[in-house]
Amino acid sequence: MSYQILVAVDSMFKSISECSELVEFSLNGKLVQVPKGTNVAAAVLLESAVCRTTVVSNTARGPFCMMGVCFDCLVSIDGLANQQGCQTLVEPGMEVIVQRGAVEAERVDDYG
Ligand code: FES
């Protein structure tokens, strides 16, 4: 099985929040700070826009609807796979990992 290489690029998404309180969490092992109240999908958009790759073709997917309908925002959160990033607020110390292809529904230990 081959995997598409996900290259982090500068996101074209910018936060419009003037919130002074930041929350720090881990995204693919990198510490990231976002305004308090940001959901995981928005935080991913600010950083890379890729949440997962598809099971069949490993095509990169990113948050689309931001309201819990499309499931293109699935990520692993604190070791639990297939979590909807748009339905989860970032919490301090949270570990978010991009999912690649098919993942175990129980637990994801790494993303490499
Ligand atoms: S962005 Fe569509 S379900 Fe989360």
CATH of domain 23-98: 3.10.20.440
How do the pLDDT tens digits run along the chain, 112 residues long? 444 445 555 677 777 767 789 999 999 999 999 999 999 999 999 887 777 888 888 888 889 999 999 999 999 999 999 999 999 999 999 999 988 877 766 655 665 5
Q: What is the Cα–Cα distance from 29 to 87, expressed in whole angstroms?
A: 21
Atom in ligand 1 nearest the alpha carbon of residue 66:
1
pTM score of the predicted model? 0.79
Cα(41) to centroid(ligand 1), Å: 8
For a pocket test of ligand 1, which of 66, 75, 89 has the largest count of ligand atoms closer than 8 A to its C-beta? 66
Atom in ligand 1 nearest the alpha carbon of residue 74:
4
Atom in ligand 1 nearest the alpha carbon of residue 84:
4
**What does the buried/exposed string (b/e) look like for 74-99 if buried means 16 or more CB atoms within 10 Å of the residue's CB?**
bbbbeeebbbbbbebebeeebebbbb
